[in-house]
Structure 1
Amino acid sequence: MNTINKELALPVSDKLLLALTPFISNQPHRAVTINFRDPDYSPQHGGFHPVEVRLEKQAQQWCLCYITDFCYVGQGDYWELAKEVDFDFGCGLFQSINGVFTLETATEIYQLWEQNFLCYWQELEVFEVNVSPG
């Protein structure tokens, strides 16, 4: 089965779920991690944040495990990628610079984040996409 479970704690749009479906179609593995990268993103010049999406097959459906948006933090020679926002569907938690909260409290920020992400990915086509099994 190549469908993604829609019963989630956040209002994940059908548009996003349909856009992710080709990455699980005919997938022989029970899990995939999809990485979206702007090749020009750097701490010095900015750009579009890297995003990671994890899906796992449970019974006959795929489940969205997490969506994480990363950004550079630090300065000088000490830049590193860190989680900026993390929507963890498996644990039911939302993490941001402000702390860790229940996922349901992130509804508004999630909707804004998703709208922007879909625009960057599908309309502006800024991301290179990599799929890793397992």
Structure 2
Amino acid sequence: MEIRLERKQDNRWYICYVTEFTYTTTPFGQESTYAIDFDFSRGLGYQLGMRQEPIAAYGPLYSLWQRNFCRYHSHDVYQCKTRIEEA
């Protein structure tokens, strides 16, 4: 999973995107691919096996994802790593 935050000119942090990855099997072996992608900076959402749509269509899925993420995080399921990129 990857979550990108950016600080804007108003000095506040904004979520650019949330991407959850999965492994899929291809004729060439297994590879990592997007399972779910909420791209707030472009206003698009994506779910594996579906087409990209306006993010508003993904409201219920995002709510479910957010609840599950928070619950798992509270049980220390995730190992969080932070990386700062220079502009």
TM-score range (shorter-chain normalised) is 0.7 to 0.9
Runs of 4+ in structure 1 displaced over 6 angstroms? none
Specify the code of the residue in structure 2 equivalent to 1:52: E
* 1:57 partnered with 2:7: yes
Specify the code of the residue in structure 2 equivalent to 1:54: R
Q: Distance in 2 between matches of 1:109 and 1:78?
A: 29
Q: 2:33 aligns with which of 64, 75, 82?
A: 82
Q: Distance in 1 between matches of 2:72 and 2:28?
A: 29
Report how many aligned residue pairs link the two structures. Answer: 83
Q: Distance in 2 between matches of 1:78 and 1:56?
A: 35
Q: For residue 125 of structure 1, report the CA deviation from its aligned partner.
A: 1.2
Report the CA distance shift for 1:76/1:121 in structure 2 as closer, same or farther (over 3 A): farther
Specify the code of the residue in structure 1 equivalent to 2:16: C
- Identical pairs, percent: 29
Q: 1:109 aligns with which of 24, 48, 61?
A: 61
Q: For residue 120 of structure 1, report the CA deviation from its aligned partner.
A: 1.0
2:79 corresponding residue in structure 1: 128
Q: Distance in 2 between matches of 1:75 and 1:94?
A: 23
Cα offsets for 1:83-114 (capped at 9, x unmatched): 10000000000011211000001010110111
Q: Distance in 2 between matches of 1:101 and 1:121?
A: 28
Q: TM-score if structure 1 supplies the norm length? A: 0.58
More RCO (CA 8 Å, sep 6+): 1
